[in-house]
Amino acid sequence: MSRIGKKPVVLPAGVTAKVSAANEFVVKGPKGEMTQSIDRDITIKIEGDQITVERPTDQIRHRALHGLYRSLIANMITGVTTGFKRELELVGVGYRAAVTGQQIDLALGFSHNIIFELPKEVKASATAEKGQNPRIILESNDKQLLGAVAAKLRSLRKPEPYKGKGVRYSDEIVRRKAGKSAGK
């Protein structure tokens, strides 16, 4: 048995879950509603306040899907109750960010500013405090989408290993290189 797959997911108070006839798992909570299509071989049982995911056989494919769907369901429930947050840091002289509606205006050392359009499910805010690097805070109830948006923002100017300049996650550690050695 999959160690992750066999753990039941607990439904908190105020959250409802159901499986539709088209094998779609639907979760509703205080932060919104999310749906996930489920493979036809995997069965989901909702008993009281616990959700269990079951697989028919021990085939490699079924074992992989067992843990996957349990994790996706747990992330959906966390998303509709508390939500997810990702923080990015802009390291570099003159690097800055401004959020207007669903657009982020980024100055990352290129000749023109980059205007990044956010999906409607993601909310962003930018902070710039004196003596600290500018930060972009992304919030959403969809963990997959939030991770994809954060990765796309980071890819606009990846942190380089010599000075550490670029867009990085706030908890990311950038390995630094020494650079050229001085004379022989």
**Is the torsion defined by CA of 66, 69, 75, 81 positive or negative?**
negative
Sequence-distant (≥ 6) Cβ neighbours of residue 26 within 8 angstroms? 17, 18, 19, 20, 33, 34, 35
Render 8-23 in DSSP notation, one character per residue. Answer: PEEPPTT-EEEE-TTS
- pLDDT tier at 2, thresholds 50, 70, 90: low
**Which run of H or E residues covers position 134?**
none
Could you count the other beta carbons within 10 Å of the beta carbon of residue 121?
Answer: 15
- The pair of structure tokens assigned to 97 is 């960010």
Count of alpha carbons within 13 angstroms of residue 8, beta-carbon side: 11
**Per-residue pLDDT tens over the stretch 105-123:** 999 999 999 999 999 999 9
Question: Rounded mean pLDDT of the chain?
Answer: 92
What does the pLDDT average to over 82-97?
A: 95
Instruction: Supply the pLDDT for residue 183.
Output: 55
- The pair of structure tokens assigned to 4 is 């992750």
Q: Could you tell me the pTM of the whole model?
A: 0.89
Measured CA to CA, the distance from residue 28 to residue 15 in angstroms comes to 6
Amino acid at 97: A
**Per-residue pLDDT tens over the stretch 144-181:** 999 999 999 999 999 999 999 999 999 999 999 988 87
User: What domains lie within the chain, and their CATH numbers?
Assistant: 9-81 (3.90.930.12), 84-169 (3.90.930.12)
Strand partners, 116: 104
